[in-house]
Structure 1
């Protein structure tokens, strides 16, 4: 029978590692639900809402998404650096990760409802006034979103040093991401389908429906955030305790000089480009290229995330059995197959049945590559958990900036309203090249030193993966304060 503890003994200290209780894993997983609900609305419906409902131009809608992504990109390294500081104030006594999570939650709840609502007191104002109005709330929301995301991610290496437990936490986190997105799409489908009928197209009259969707999603997210803060305490980490005290860390200069950080950032950025751009442009592809009804703009994304959910159940086992490289390869294969099918799919059969298979493939592929890339990031951090938030901040900075720039360029280039195949080509080539680019990054990273060696240059991370394995003291890192 597998033991729940592992004792790692070196000449200088003893470290105890406990497997994470299931309740703690689940409580951790729901801590990002509020962000996930908002992200589903942001990436799937922001362009749709501003362009089709509020009647902004393609460029104007893309510009506001860019503002949000840039604000998020700038906030993530700042939040990461500040979250890594060992403050002694009253606020940090609550937990240096959780206090940022709480601050971010307040910002998200306060700003997000205004983004999917008509401009208060300025509905008839000039267009630039409305853009400034929305950008203010978008910046507040994105700062809060970044604070929640980075603080939540940085808890993973804090809670456990075990590679497979970290992958399991990431998979559970992503599983709740999928559940949150499925909830959003079910609510959206019910509201758009029941209120509008089967044959309606999205238009200005659908504005109040999006507000109903937002409030339902925020209510669910708030409930989950409260449970997270009640059930997860940073001091309950099961990562082991060093009798000499102190958390191992790297300073900012040392992290920025490590080439492996940039390789992993490239992998994460490419992965996020595939996941986010497919989520952003699928509704516009359905609306313009396939000429599908308003309810399909919820039903197809819902199918994508059902595919993600089914795949997320086995991701941790996939990584454990085959390793990061092979798991990422499997995800890339499904993603490329979906992109090719989008390019050549047409006709009644495709619209009635084939598009759902494509949606499942995109969702499953995104699930595998995203969880695996986050696992690679956790491996990079290794035992340097005190620097974890800043490393995640770097990853998120590249992701948000790249996505924002990509969206504004794609929207700006779409100047021919008669070109109904534009978004089909975007899904095929931009998303396809992104996921292949991520795969080349994985190959370059693993062809050298293994990512589980973390940020340390001359030391090795302890092997926590086998509970009953014999531990060689020379394999242990001696943390530095």
Structure 2
């Protein structure tokens, strides 16, 4: 009887929807990863160029990190996090002045130490509150059925989902990497804008993501919401390219639309992975790992190529007589994400997404 009871509990852990408490603790587990990822994409290139590295060398450092991260993912198989980072960054940039290379290093050192400390605290909460279910075995345990990699390469949907996911990650990560350059070097906004503008984007993304959680997803809805996010990004990208310095305050409004578009595209793009995997949980690791690998390598290469064309220093850009200077930063933050959004929407339109794939959580987050 006791053995049957344990088996029943294990079965329930796989079939019952998640409760509010489980969702909360799983979210806590993402804090450290989200904080460090936000640091990496938002401030790494800016920090490396501020301390004297050339744009190409700075991009090489980021590319090497992306390659290492991608291979590690293959081998190893949001608001609070990002907003906490930008709150720390806002305080550091507003309070301390960066007059020398040593001052710049101290600024980013404080941001790094604070981010790691806060992230580790939340990892502790995650480990304390998360109960790991036992793996099901036996005749009914189909979770251990391994699926050959070749199976996925024979499915057209795998390539379509891979293209959409990689393009979506390119939009989010590349735009995040050039955001700080854009508001400081191109728009000449205050130093605090390096933290305030990203914070607005993440706040809007979080709000939209929570709202999207309440939707009963179907294939058509996934395609419709992804398309909506892509269209918003196209208009936002066009505004970024041609926004003059005299109208830099409009960047705060544009950041709201960017946050909404990021949430629409990321939530639906990741959900398409779930449609692809379906009930084939034995291949979940390969699908997620391979797409993550492609995402990291493509982001690193894109940033390296863009930085290779970054020949003008910030000082030269500031002395440019043209009010709207079409810099590499504007192309990286505006044109590239818009083109990726256009291709992603086109690929999404051709997808055949029919399989219902998700169950609602036990307790809606908005109640």
Specify the TM-score bucket, using the shorter chain as the normaliser: 0.7 to 0.9
CA contact (8 A) 2:168 2:344 kept: yes
User: Structure 2: how far apart are the matches of 1:324 and 1:26?
Assistant: 25
Say whether 1:295 aligns with 2:192.
Answer: yes
- Could you say which residue in structure 2 is the equivalent of 1:44? 42
- Could you say which residue in structure 2 is the equivalent of 1:342? 240
Name the SS for the 1:334 alignment partner: helix
Question: How far is the alpha carbon of 1:179 from its aligned partner?
Answer: 1.9
> 448, 452, 462: which is aligned to 2:355?
452
Question: How far is the alpha carbon of 1:28 from its aligned partner?
Answer: 1.1
Question: How far is the alpha carbon of 1:320 from its aligned partner?
Answer: 3.1
Question: How far is the alpha carbon of 1:274 from its aligned partner?
Answer: 0.4
User: Structure 2: how far apart are the matches of 1:319 and 1:337?
Assistant: 28
Cα 1:242–1:366 shift into 2, 3 Å: farther
> 67, 71, 83: which is aligned to 1:70?
67
Question: How far is the alpha carbon of 1:50 from its aligned partner?
Answer: 0.6
User: Structure 1: how far apart are the matches of 2:85 and 2:12?
Assistant: 47
Say whether 1:26 aligns with 2:14.
Answer: no
Cα 1:28–1:431 shift into 2, 3 Å: same
CA contact (8 A) 2:147 2:283 kept: yes
> 281, 284, 288: which is aligned to 2:181?
284
TM-score normalised by the chain length of structure 2: 0.85
- Could you say which residue in structure 2 is the equivalent of 1:426? 332
- Could you say which residue in structure 2 is the equivalent of 1:206? 104
Name the SS for the 2:15 alignment partner: strand
Question: How far is the alpha carbon of 1:178 from its aligned partner?
Answer: 2.6
User: Structure 1: how far apart are the matches of 2:12 and 2:337?
Assistant: 48
Cα 1:277–1:431 shift into 2, 3 Å: same
User: Structure 2: how far apart are the matches of 1:319 and 1:73?
Assistant: 32
- Could you say which residue in structure 2 is the equivalent of 1:386? 282
Aligned-residue Cα RMSD (Å) equals 2.7
Q: Deviation per CA, 1:165-204: give whole Å up to 9, x if none.
A: xxxxxxxxxxxx23211111111001110223xxx78965
Question: How far is the alpha carbon of 1:289 from its aligned partner?
Answer: 0.9
Residue pairs, 1:288-367, within 5 angstroms: 288-318=185-215, 320=217, 323-348=221-246, 350-352=247-249, 354-367=250-263
Higher relative contact order (CA 8 A, sep 6+): 2
Name the SS for the 1:414 alignment partner: coil
User: Structure 2: how far apart are the matches of 1:24 and 1:306?
Assistant: 22
CA contact (8 A) 1:66 1:407 kept: yes
CA contact (8 A) 1:340 1:428 kept: yes
TM-score normalised by the chain length of structure 1: 0.66
User: Structure 1: how far apart are the matches of 2:49 and 2:340?
Assistant: 26
- Could you say which residue in structure 2 is the equivalent of 1:264? 161
CA contact (8 A) 1:34 1:221 kept: yes
Instruction: Indicate the larger mover: 245-254 or 219-228.
Output: 245-254
Question: How far is the alpha carbon of 1:394 from its aligned partner?
Answer: 0.9
User: Structure 1: how far apart are the matches of 2:114 and 2:360?
Assistant: 41
Name the SS for the 1:452 alignment partner: coil
- Could you say which residue in structure 1 is the equivalent of 2:80? 179
Cα 1:244–1:331 shift into 2, 3 Å: same
User: Structure 2: how far apart are the matches of 1:286 and 1:261?
Assistant: 37
CA contact (8 A) 1:69 1:403 kept: yes
Gaps of 5+ in 1: 1-12, 81-176, 454-460, 468-481
Gaps of 5+ in 2: 1-10, 318-324, 363-367
CA contact (8 A) 1:380 1:451 kept: no
- Could you say which residue in structure 2 is the equivalent of 1:35? 33
User: Structure 1: how far apart are the matches of 2:13 and 2:166?
Assistant: 35
> 356, 363, 374: which is aligned to 2:270?
374
How many residues of Structure 1 are paired with residues of Structure 2 in the alignment?
340
